[in-house]
Structure 1
Amino acid sequence: MLADLEELVRCESFSADHAAVARSAAVVGALGTRLLGAGPETIVIDGVTHLRWIFGTPRVLLVGHHDTVWPLGSLRNHPWSVTDGIARGPGVLDMKAGLVQMLHALASLPSPDGVCVLVSGDEEVGSATSRELIEETARACRAAFVLEASADERGALKTARKGTSRYEVVVRGRAAHAGLDPQKGVNAAVEAAHQVLSIAGLSASLGADGGGHSVLGLATVTPTLLSSGSARNTVPALARVSVDVRVPTTAAQDRVDELMRGLTARTPGARLEVLGGRQRPPMTPESSAELFALASRLAKESGEELLRGIAVGGASDGNYTAAVGCPTLDGLGAVGAGAHADSEYVDVARMVPRARLLARLIEHTTN
């Protein structure tokens, strides 16, 4: 498993580099072919390469992705290494170790019949080209197991995920000379500042119950990227504000969308355009409850540590499988910490037990 993990990590697969993603798909496909005795279907959509194995009539969907957030060349500063039982390297936790565990777990079974393996190449950028593939397969399955990393370094599974929305607020003003005629301009940067403050305050507009708790849960609306202007001596005619939204329920997602569409300009002459909208729907605790109970029972029967399940703010393709009605359990991949960060690592000793747990889950849900 370590040798396979090294091979995947050394093949960099930055989401934005479609050629790198295609090379990675070839490596993952070759690994799956060796372990499973069958080659994948290679699906290229809008230049993004995905892999799919189908064995018989799918009843269980195994979900993973082979793209990473790490630009090409990251291996130079974050080389592959294994020291004192800790594996490091770009994408080692999110989620190349999960892919290795998934393929080895499936290979350990007497037969892969009833399983569909779907490995996407654009999960880190929202799964725009793979979403339909994921949802189409999930609708026909009785369970989806997502091989994203555990929720923490102690190995907690992810039993709920927030939904995500992405917006861009475009502010249009009017340019003018900043020294000679500033009064003739409409400053888009000033209006963008008003909008940043308004957007940052939207979470408080979601309503609260008598105890002061948000009726719609812990939704977050966060201004992130901000840009404006074209020259130091020119009143900015254009500004843009990017907004990250995380919501626990569909109702919260709808309400945030309503609030974002209702933003109004404060600066006379300025105009607003709100782009974007909903992306991944929430993965609610109800979608994982039965599968988590099964996983807990199987872990106990095997003498493994007591499983924990927690809700997380990050989204995954498990949001899509759960939203179409397929029971979904996430976080079954590698145990470690530091995803997307310089500190990213995998606890090597936990790889085999997690692969065994997945194998038992597959057996119970395909029969």
Structure 2
Amino acid sequence: MYLSAAIGFVVDVNIPEILNEAPNHSLHAKDIASAAGCDTSHVSRVLRYLATRHIFREVTPDVFANNKLSSSLLKGNGKSLGELQAKPLEKYENSGNAAFVGHLIGEGLKSSSSMIEFLKSSGKAGHSPFSMAWGTEKRLWDWYAEPDNGWRFGRFVAAMQFVAQTYKDSIFQNAFNWKSLKSTDVIVDVGGNMGTVSLAIAKMFPETKFVIQDLPPVIEGAKPFWQANFPEAIENGRVKLEAHDFFQPQPVKGAAVYFCRFIIQDWPDSECIKILKRIREAAGPSSKLILFEIGIPYACADPTRYTADVEQRSAPYPLIPNLGKGGGMNPTNVDMQMLNLLNGQGRNIRQFIELGEATNWKLESVKNDELSIFTFSAA
């Protein structure tokens, strides 16, 4: 909790930027505090706490500098310290890892204080630990829509853009035999945000056609993204940007492939079933559904013989089968974050099979790369 609070503080008051712009890239705590508008003792103690954990360096007594880890917290939008301080509500735009850290800690840390009460109530005490901690009846997405939280939503969007960039294009390009599709076939990117996955596939396979769907504000933001990265795909009609709520009837009927990236983890089972049923209602007999998710590997051997083609994770003894902190830590961290903010969840293979059975989708295969690829056919 102290590590999270300390990192959240230095990102919020721009201390990595203060040090980056300083002569010799180092400053006394009193000068850092003056630039940040904070108390000298507080700044010194927080930075020493972090430097002890190899984030920042204490060069001489009370004089601090960035190191490799603290430099990763610099906002990647190229704005000067003055610009960041002049428009604090815009400082997380295109800010990379800083936005990701800010989102995780900004919303996550406070929300986690209500997790025990939420769990003890079997989830009946509120929509989520987030809703309890922040004193709101709204779910996170609706709370983001409030005017006072617009900057937080902007930070979240920037954080998700950063996450998207960490996954190599080849994951999505190799997820399916896209070459098998005819020029008349359509791929629907459900809840696609800016459409980064569709962009990766579209550039590799020039015959494919896409419909990228998300809520109206997100689709508006996707227009300049495509104009900057692949304008001809919009102009020639290969890519269509469509405002759509995935809880409503799916407007694209009989698409060859529908896919969702990091959508299912955001919701409890009851809501996931609604999303997948909407897609199934629109699907044709030969339609495929692909879910790009962070599948949760078991911390033990899985003896189940699945009818689907499943790439099993394994590790040699004495490592635990999901590789522990080397392999299973990030998926389980994601699972806790989904529980904390959304009452959503990361899922294991059996839970994906159950979701498919509840919505008339049959699991065909599971591939494991930096994320898991679950491919379903219409049952």
Q: TM-score, normalized by length of structure 1?
A: 0.25
More helix by share: 2
TM-score by length of 2: 0.25
Q: Which has the higher strand share?
A: 1
